[in-house]
Amino acid sequence: MSDQFSYPVKLTKQKEGGYLVQFPDLAEAITQGENLEDALNEAMDCLEEAIAHRMAKKLDIPMPSQRKRCKYITLSTTFAVKTALYLAMREKKLNNTSLARKLGCNEKEIRRLLDPHYNSKLPRIEEALNKLGKKLEVHVVSF
């Protein structure tokens, strides 16, 4: 996935131990970890839950800001493609029922395609994106 789904994370070492984790682009996304590794693991979960909450409440999802000297947390592939579908629907101002009509399915299937906790089939998400004029591309990068 691209930088579209990589959010800057602020890690602050706490006097009492551990790290405070914050996402400048998502004020509600705050967590902590006992050490750096734990903080980064918690950051991924926190980011995904913040995005899932925004999707469930039909709120805007901000594009990640670009910051220098900052760590980034990237959404998992499944979360990213579902977020991409959500963003494409908002861009086209389509609700679940309208997309269901385009795909020839019921609204419940669209809810599942958008639910980050539901194990949707990737080809179906790709088909939905295509109906919205979007093409899913996958890139593998070294890190």
CATH of the domain at 48: 3.30.160.250
Predicted confidence at residue 2, as pLDDT, reads: 55
For residues 66 and 33, state if they share a domain: yes
Q: What is the pTM of this model?
A: 0.91
CATH of the domain at 107: 1.10.260
For residues 8 and 59, state if they share a domain: yes
Q: What angle do CA 26, 15, 27 make, to 5 degrees?
A: 10
CA within 13 Å, CB half, 44: 11
Per the structure, the count of domains in the chain is 2
> What single letter denotes the amino acid at residue 121?
K
> What single letter denotes the amino acid at residue 71?
K
Residue 136 in any domain: the answer is: no
For residues 83 and 67, state if they share a domain: no
For residues 67 and 118, state if they share a domain: no
Task: Give the separation between CA 3 and CA 100, rounded to whole angstroms.
Answer: 29
Query: Digits of tens for pLDDT over the chain (143 positions)?
Result: 457 899 999 999 999 999 999 999 999 999 999 999 999 999 999 999 999 999 999 999 999 999 888 899 999 999 999 999 999 999 999 999 999 999 999 999 999 999 999 999 999 999 999 999 999 998 888 87
Residue 61 in any domain: the answer is: yes
Tokens of 111: 């809810």
